Structure 1
Amino acid sequence: MPDVSAHAPSAEDPTALAPLARYTTLALGGPADRLVTATTADELTEAVRDAGRRGEQILLLSGGSNVVIGDDGFPGTVILVRSTGFQVVAEEPAGAGGPATVTIRVEAGEPWDDLVAATVAAGWSGVECLSGIPGAAGATPIQNVGAYGQEVAETVQAVHVHDRLTDERYALPAADCRFAYRDSLFKRNDRYLVLAVDFQLVRSELSTPVRYAELARSFGVAVGDRVPLADARAAVLRLRAGKGMVLDATDPDTRSVGSFFTNPVLDAAAAQRFHARVAAAGTGEPATWPVAGGDAVKVSAAWLIDKAGYGKGYPGGDAPVAISSKHTLALTHRGGGSTAALLDLAGTIRDGVRARFGVTLHPEPVLVNCSFD
């Protein structure tokens, strides 16, 4: 994802025992036993092999925007993924009622928002609503990154991997990636090293149909309408900036991992119990929406947090870690804090929401050498 960490790396080569805080958007995290940089897929593969031969644990970091690293750091090799660039690998003309498409192959370390900007400028539709998300392209399928009505699972055609078990390289088609809400095959399995990602985009000067109500309102259009690509990107960037979700070194609200908790999904029985708890609490109508393909509903984690008594800026004062003053879902590092303090805050919020509504929140970022269970 250029590197978009809150503290950019120095021009010098990384050295052993380098603190990882400088490579994360939270600006938190202790040292690594070993820190190396990979600028190509071959270097990345070889760095992983070298660490494997030494019997070391491995952590891959690119933008550092979706990871929480413990204060003790990482007891192994951290590889900074800095492979960049993309190329067109296939083009299909319009036909049989389908639009013209272009397939691009993107290196794992390509800055995500740079890629989105390039696709919008080229007139390729499909990821414009994912503007402003920090990180690298190779991380997006791992998390199945999504925002404002789009997620990468809709455009990923294949993920090129190095299989650490067989020591082979091959492409996994999207159907084999087990994409789900903020989840994939890669998130819980370190067998596969992502080297590049193929995205299939539509040739169009218009966005995909706008699905997110807040975005549609910003244009004065109905959900399902389409707008110019450049306008969609600009609107998303404005909305994200207003929530402290576009990195800005002068704004401590952006020193975060974005949304810290996922929106919980409740089956029909759990949803019924939840609505009964809400009615008893007298907190008003909850923010929910149906999940496609069943009776389940998704509940707004931001609504749960706010109604449980943890509003923007909580706990206030000079706390080194706090809920963002702009967005209830973001936990921020104001300066002088620690990962332990951040996770204490996360645990307090999780426990408070569960006590009030009977719903358990789960973290969205990857927790490395730390937990709040």
Structure 2
Amino acid sequence: MTQPLAELTTMRVGGPPRRLVTATTEAELIEAVRETDAAGEPLLVVGGGSNLLVADAGFPGTVVHVATRGIEVPHDSACGGVTATIAAGEVWDDVVAHACEHGWSGIEALSGIPGATGATPVQNVGAYGQEVAQTVAQVRVWDREEARVRTLFAGDLQFSYRHSLLKESMLGPDVPAGAVTPRYVVLTVTFSLRPTEMSQPVGYAALADGLGVQLGQRVPLGEARSAVLDQRRRRGMVLDAADHDTWSCGSFFTNPILTAPQMAELRVRALDRLGADGPTPPEFPAPQDRIKTSAAWLIDRAGFAKGHGTLDGRPAGLSTKHTLALTNRGGATAADVLALAREVRDGVEAAFGVRLVNEPVLVGLTL
């Protein structure tokens, strides 16, 4: 039997694909995609599997597991900066560690994020005040629609909060619910980094507190990376096979981006639910005069505490360390995880009128 996708994903759920191909070179990756397309089969591209929730029935087509490797530095100077081109299959945290060790600043706050490098621009991965949109210079892709290699520059990628043109091509309005049909398959990602032993200005309050510095200060890269890893471990967000709190897709829901009227309604609902002396919803500026609030805050105040489901002995439950992580306690199915996600989403909407949106890609599933 084909290897189940549970073995290739950090959530550790998902049935087998019809066919599994592992590509260790760029040529193998392109050829595997071309063969799949020529056969008219469904295609799923998997890197580190950190942002996928796959159906228990598996995938009725070809899964291409991207295992390409390589870090090239075509440009490195004190004046012009560092240009680093990374193969899509490189383990992302290894890339961040490499950058910190070599004095390349700009991605240190993204330490400890699981998955492969090729997925980072798709999701516009971000944490602790940084996101890859700030440093991605270009992405080389195989364009399945045009059957050719293309280079997409930062301005082409339409980056927004946890979104990009690459992700839109997978989940656009013409894509059936539960299907994954990426137009672009990432081959390499080129980052523009700064040659300095110091971090970029610390832009996250908890991180600044952990470092003992003020927001906006800079610290040595190694200290920044260590502090980020410490923050992530406290939240169960660094992979550990022995810790079920890390058997997850990371943050399962994105932080809601609200209009001013929606935010006003949320404040009223919070006041009604929590009282005049209760906590108020966090507010952060977002593009287009919108307001970002905290999904974790909403989940907790809607009555879903850390460990919800987990402490009841369910196969899937919220992390005991962080309410944003839905975790596999060791024997969960995709159906178990999805049931928990629906419970939390619907509970938050009933309490606050805000509908949470899943961050991981759902394969063969709909929330």
Q: Give the TM-score taking structure 2 as reference length.
A: 0.94
What's the offset of the Cα at 1:287? 4.0
Which SS does the other structure have where 2:250 is aligned? coil
Which SS does the other structure have where 1:80 is aligned? strand
What's the offset of the Cα at 1:318? 1.5
Q: Match of 1:109?
A: 89
Match of 1:153 among 127, 133, 151: 133
Which SS does the other structure have where 2:251 is aligned? coil
- Retained in 1: the 8 A contact 2:47–2:116? yes
Match of 2:279 among 267, 276, 285: 285
Q: Match of 1:13?
A: none
- The answer to whether residue 232 in structure 2 is matched with residue 240 in structure 1 is yes
Supply the AA of the counterpart residue of 1:313.
Answer: G
Which SS does the other structure have where 1:257 is aligned? strand
Q: Match of 1:12?
A: none
Alpha-carbon distance between aligned partners in 2 of 1:312 and 1:299, rounded to the nearest angstrom:
19
Alpha-carbon distance between aligned partners in 2 of 1:152 and 1:342, rounded to the nearest angstrom:
28
- Larger mean CA deviation between 136-145 and 280-289 belongs to 280-289
Supply the AA of the counterpart residue of 1:48.
Answer: V
Supply the AA of the counterpart residue of 2:36.
Answer: A
- Retained in 2: the 8 A contact 1:35–1:79? yes
Q: Match of 1:360?
A: 355
Q: Match of 1:295?
A: 289
Supply the AA of the counterpart residue of 1:306.
Answer: D
Query: Deviation per CA, 1:317-337, whole angstroms, max 9, x where unpaired?
Result: 221100000001000000121
What's the offset of the Cα at 1:343? 0.4
Count residues with an aligned counterpart: 352
Query: Deviation per CA, 1:224-276, whole angstroms, max 9, x where unpaired?
Result: 11011000000000110111100001100000000000000111111111111
- The answer to whether residue 342 in structure 2 is matched with residue 347 in structure 1 is yes
- The answer to whether residue 147 in structure 2 is matched with residue 167 in structure 1 is yes
Q: Match of 1:39?
A: 24
Alpha-carbon distance between aligned partners in 1 of 2:342 and 2:106, rounded to the nearest angstrom:
36
Q: Match of 2:122?
A: 142
Once the two structures are superposed, the pairs formed by residues 187-336 of structure 1 within 5 Å of their partners are 187-189=167-169, 190-282=182-274, 284-315=278-309, 316-336=311-331
Query: Deviation per CA, 1:115-162, whole angstroms, max 9, x where unpaired?
Result: 000000000000000000000100000000000100000000000011
Q: Match of 2:52?
A: 67
Q: Give the TM-score taking structure 1 as reference length.
A: 0.92
Alpha-carbon distance between aligned partners in 2 of 1:292 and 1:344, rounded to the nearest angstrom:
31
Q: Match of 1:50?
A: 35
What's the offset of the Cα at 1:52? 0.6
Supply the AA of the counterpart residue of 2:356.
Answer: L
Supply the AA of the counterpart residue of 1:225.
Answer: Q
Alpha-carbon distance between aligned partners in 2 of 1:286 and 1:176, rounded to the nearest angstrom:
38
- Retained in 2: the 8 A contact 1:261–1:361? yes
What's the offset of the Cα at 1:191? 1.3
Query: Deviation per CA, 1:161-211, whole angstroms, max 9, x where unpaired?
Result: 111111111211000001000000111311111000000000001000000
What's the offset of the Cα at 1:292? 4.1
- Retained in 1: the 8 A contact 2:306–2:322? yes
Change (3 A) 1:345 1:135: same
- Retained in 2: the 8 A contact 1:67–1:257? yes
Alpha-carbon distance between aligned partners in 1 of 2:349 and 2:162, rounded to the nearest angstrom:
21
- The answer to whether residue 3 in structure 2 is matched with residue 22 in structure 1 is no
Alpha-carbon distance between aligned partners in 2 of 1:196 and 1:105, rounded to the nearest angstrom:
6
Supply the AA of the counterpart residue of 1:252.
Answer: H
- Retained in 1: the 8 A contact 2:286–2:292? no
Which SS does the other structure have where 2:199 is aligned? coil
Alpha-carbon distance between aligned partners in 2 of 1:28 and 1:292, rounded to the nearest angstrom:
34
Supply the AA of the counterpart residue of 1:285.
Answer: P
Alpha-carbon distance between aligned partners in 1 of 2:3 and 2:289, rounded to the nearest angstrom:
49
- Retained in 1: the 8 A contact 2:16–2:57? yes
Unaligned runs of 5+ in 2: 170-181
- Retained in 1: the 8 A contact 2:105–2:198? yes
Which SS does the other structure have where 2:248 is aligned? coil
What's the offset of the Cα at 1:90? 2.0
- Retained in 2: the 8 A contact 1:36–1:79? yes
- Retained in 2: the 8 A contact 1:288–1:297? no
What's the offset of the Cα at 1:293? 4.2
- The answer to whether residue 120 in structure 2 is matched with residue 132 in structure 1 is no
- Retained in 2: the 8 A contact 1:286–1:299? no
Match of 2:164 among 176, 184, 188: 184
